[in-house]
Amino acid sequence: MSKFNIVSADWATLKQDAQYIRELVFIQEQQIDAIDEWDAQDPISLHFVVYGDLKPIATARLLDNNSIGRVAVLKEYRGQGIGKILMLDIIQQAKIQKRETLKLSAQVHAIAFYQRLGFKAEGAEYLDCGIPHRDMTLIF
């Protein structure tokens, strides 16, 4: 496994790399409409990009309302623990910022992944952009 580096910064700093990953994962692979992918939260969120082999390979964002969103790992890098190190970095950042909870909308296939990080599923399953999701919360 190669060395990974995680950078957290504002949208202006990480936009190019975060957009690259989200375009491949959400718009191309998962067929999410670009209109649904890009929103007003990007410019006001804290973004995270994981770099491996000197290129962007994973991303996520942390919103002011304690929501984690747009968690994506490039297909060829999945199954290597990159999503876990990304999420642990976001959780650590949230603790440093003295946030009491984190929440996210998990694609149903990823619920077990988030549960292993301490998130608990809540409420009923629902469709978001045609993909089944459930809300999840982590309380510190």
Q: Does domain 4-98 have CATH number 3.40.640.10?
A: no
**Which parts of the chain sit beneath pLDDT 70?**
1-2
Q: What is the pLDDT of residue 53?
A: 84
What is the per-residue pLDDT for 2?
A: 53
Q: Is 60 left (phi over 0), alpha (psi -120 to 50) or beta?
A: beta
The ranges assigned to domains in the chain are: 4-98
Q: Give this prediction's pTM.
A: 0.96
Q: Is 45 left (phi over 0), alpha (psi -120 to 50) or beta?
A: beta
